[in-house]
Structure 1
Amino acid sequence: MNPQVSLECRDINLSYGTTPVLRGVSLKVEPGEFFALLGPSGSGKSTLLRLIAGFNRHQSGALLIGGQDVSAVPPHARNVGMVFQNYALWPHMNVWDNVAFGLVERRESRDAIRRKVGAALELVGLQQYAQRRPGQLSGGQQQRVALARTIVIEPKLLLLDEPLSNLDKQLRVQMRDELKSLQRKLGLTTLFVTHDQEEAMTTADRMAVLDKGVLQQVGAAADLYDRPVNRFVAGFVGTANMVEGEVMRAGAGQIAFRAPGLGDIALPLQDGDAPLPGPAALAFRPHQVVLAEAGAASDASRIWMQGEVESAEFLGEFSRYRVRVGGLALLADQPHYAGLAMYPPGAQVRVGMAPAQLRVLAR
């Protein structure tokens, strides 16, 4: 197996004609890291992955693998393995021949092919399916064949382009666990592209959010979830309530925020520099909102407001409420327990929020 290598993009810019697709993308993936690239359709994430594989070419910037600039290196010479969304298996070849294909192209010896293909199939648990064709396999088994075919060539990098999107939910959960386990076992530096936030958060060591070709934020899943840098990240990584308002002043450990419908709110000063006075948004997660019956005793550590339940959904582990507070409609997720009655639409409730959980986003 090749030694672990880093991957670095330095101010990558790519346009199709006059349309910019990647704009000043700079990020570094550490050796052996499982890194997820997350973004909506059209954000440029698959374009960036294909650029790293060598199928696209940037107009400016540098792409380094293991510290070496490979911008001008053709795809076949980069020793990068890529698993596509549709797996791209040869339908007329059996599993063994599909996995051996890259080694045959490289003209490796028959003994080396037999040894490496056998090891790859054992790694993904498909030894007994070696003589079957792709059409005789389940979606999860085809996914394993695609992985085996990629890792058998011992690539420096493993690139995964939405590899689980064609599977049903239960199989996706199983396959992402297997994928993570396999990556840890191999120690391969891996870049995983997905539009599914849950996949990114549960598999990756770190992740980056891309929107309209611009890198929005890079960090561990918990950092992006708890400390989003802007409205887009707050709304894309998880579900968020977003209340537009204004920072009145900030200093002495506090932020004074004014929001129509909520009034003036005093918040503790958050990480980093104090926000400048001016338009901003208050972001907070539905599970951070507490509901209580009107007139119930209040936890003094929270900000409380009167509200009315507009709708209620039972989602198993929790119930999601849409609550009208002044001119605002807020989402509130409450844990469900057996025998716990839901608030019906029209119910008058008190809405509580902990100041430390409210995040001010100036952009």
Structure 2
Amino acid sequence: MKKVGVECRNIRLSYGNTEVLKDINISIAPGEFFALLGPSGSGKSTLLRLIAGFNQHQHGQLLVDGRDISGVPPWDRNIGMVFQNYALWPHMTVWDNVAFGLVERKVPKAELRERVQAALELVGLADYAKRRPNHLSGGQQQRVALARTIVIEPQVLLLDEPLSNLDKKLRVQMRRELLALQRRLGITTIFVTHDQEEAMTTADRMAVLNHGVVQQLGSPANLFDFPSNRFVADFVGTMNVLEGNVRERNGGDIVLGVDGVGDLRLPVDNETLPTGRCAASFRPHTVVVEAAGAVGDARYTWLPGEILASEFLGEFTRYQIRIGTQQLTADQTHYAGLSKFPPGASVAVGIDPSQVRLLAA
């Protein structure tokens, strides 16, 4: 099967006076696993349905393999979609559910049998062909929905929150199976989710949407390490944010006067030296917590703090810490025998300047 790219060029979509998608520009490479990530109402599912042909944009172009398919009806797009609720026919067997699309396309019987059998074997359900959907687990129903979609050999596979109805353990298992299947088929895949962990563990690249606008596009690691704005920083993982004013610039460093805390000296790119008000942002796992008075690593900027609360989360303990008049979160790796800091304990908080990102306040 030929791998194809998908491109959205300046796409806008409105319902009446409500603009749902605003100048969407996304280019998805052939064979790429691409995620659309965002909160409810961000426009991600609307964009996915637009690519499928169920929604129609008023402006822009939608290209598949370089051809504008904006006016092409859904049944002529050769795009497969797996819905959140699987949409299986309850009165049909697994075999008949998977064969349905081929029957509608009037595929010869011998070819139909061969393709249905191959699709069921691909998702590990060859032994379940005679069962009905209500006799299957949630994960098995998900595999039937996938088999029914891939059996028609679509150029593009669309996944609309396909794991949201599964429990956590099964979601982890299914996203691994989903990624392995996509790699095996090499099919261009677009995956909609509001779960940043799902997006980051499966996608080659992803776009974060909010209010119908692409906030940032890139690899999961790039978005996590170098968020372009406060929304992306907060939505992709957890972020500490300390706002303040730039008080001094010296070569590649600035001194940020953090509200209620004091001065932080931070390295920045000379070409993007900020001025005025901005926010120092850093991830909880980059923060070090030591007992008050301990001699800290010179790589860190150390500030006095007080433990407000803690949560034991197994692999790590999450602390809420007051520094000055501000509060931040620190994640400390847990191992057997390590004692926790109690609420009210005085501590030294280490911030690694190399892990701080300066964002618009």
Query: What runs of 5+ residues in structure 1 fail to find an aligned partner?
Result: none
Per the TM alignment, residue 301 of structure 1 is displaced from its structure 2 partner at its CA by 1.5
Q: Show the counterpart of 1:334.
A: 332
Q: Show the counterpart of 2:178.
A: 179
Kept in 2: contact 1:250–1:274 (CA 8 A): no
Q: Show the counterpart of 2:86.
A: 87
Q: Show the counterpart of 1:299.
A: 297
Q: Show the counterpart of 1:350.
A: 348
Say if 2:298 is the partner of 1:284. no
Amino acid in structure 2 at the alignment position of 1:160: L
Per the TM alignment, residue 262 of structure 1 is displaced from its structure 2 partner at its CA by 2.6
Q: Deviations over 1:12-41 (max 9, x none)?
A: 100111011000110100000000110001
Q: Show the counterpart of 1:97.
A: 96
Secondary structure of the residue aligned to 1:232 is: helix
Q: Show the counterpart of 1:160.
A: 159
Amino acid in structure 2 at the alignment position of 1:295: G
Per the TM alignment, residue 261 of structure 1 is displaced from its structure 2 partner at its CA by 2.3
TM-score, structure 2 as length reference: 0.98
Q: Show the counterpart of 1:316.
A: 314
Q: Deviations over 1:290-321 (max 9, x none)?
A: 00101111111111110000001111000000
Q: C-alpha separation between the residues in 1 aligned to 2:273 and 2:67?
A: 40
Q: C-alpha separation between the residues in 2 aligned to 1:141 and 1:204?
A: 23
Q: Show the counterpart of 1:12.
A: 11
Amino acid in structure 1 at the alignment position of 2:27: K
Q: C-alpha separation between the residues in 2 aligned to 1:188 and 1:311?
A: 47
Give runs of aligned pairs for residues 24-39 of structure 1, distance below 5 A: 24-39=23-38
Kept in 2: contact 1:197–1:237 (CA 8 A): yes
Query: What runs of 5+ residues in structure 2 fail to find an aligned partner?
Result: none
Q: Deviations over 1:144-193 (max 9, x none)?
A: 00000000000000000000000000000000000000000000000000
Q: Deviations over 1:109-164 (max 9, x none)?
A: 11111010000000000000000000000000000000000000000000000000
Q: C-alpha separation between the residues in 2 aligned to 1:276 and 1:310?
A: 32
Say if 2:148 is the partner of 1:149. yes
Give runs of aligned pairs for residues 211-222 of structure 1, distance below 5 A: 211-222=210-221
Q: Show the counterpart of 1:121.
A: 120
- C-alpha distance 6-355 of structure 1, shift in aligned 2 (>3 A): same
Per the TM alignment, residue 273 of structure 1 is displaced from its structure 2 partner at its CA by 3.5
Kept in 2: contact 1:251–1:274 (CA 8 A): no
TM-score, structure 1 as length reference: 0.98
Q: C-alpha separation between the residues in 1 aligned to 2:271 and 2:219?
A: 21
Secondary structure of the residue aligned to 1:273 is: helix
Kept in 2: contact 1:249–1:276 (CA 8 A): no
Q: C-alpha separation between the residues in 2 aligned to 1:164 and 1:273?
A: 43
Secondary structure of the residue aligned to 2:39 is: coil
Q: CA RMSD in A?
A: 1.1
Amino acid in structure 1 at the alignment position of 2:66: G
Amino acid in structure 1 at the alignment position of 2:352: A
Q: C-alpha separation between the residues in 1 aligned to 2:13 and 2:246?
A: 37
Q: Show the counterpart of 2:130.
A: 131
Q: Show the counterpart of 2:61.
A: 62
- C-alpha distance 360-151 of structure 1, shift in aligned 2 (>3 A): same
Per the TM alignment, residue 263 of structure 1 is displaced from its structure 2 partner at its CA by 1.4
Amino acid in structure 2 at the alignment position of 1:331: T
The ranges of structure 1 where at least 4 consecutive aligned residues each deviate by more than 6 angstroms after the TM superposition are none
Q: C-alpha separation between the residues in 2 aligned to 1:309 and 1:42?
A: 36
Q: Show the counterpart of 2:243.
A: 244
Kept in 2: contact 1:247–1:275 (CA 8 A): no
Q: C-alpha separation between the residues in 2 aligned to 1:284 and 1:33?
A: 30
Secondary structure of the residue aligned to 2:177 is: helix
Q: C-alpha separation between the residues in 2 aligned to 1:129 and 1:61?
A: 44
Q: Show the counterpart of 1:45.
A: 44
Q: Show the counterpart of 1:257.
A: 256
Count of residue correspondences: 361
Secondary structure of the residue aligned to 2:179 is: helix
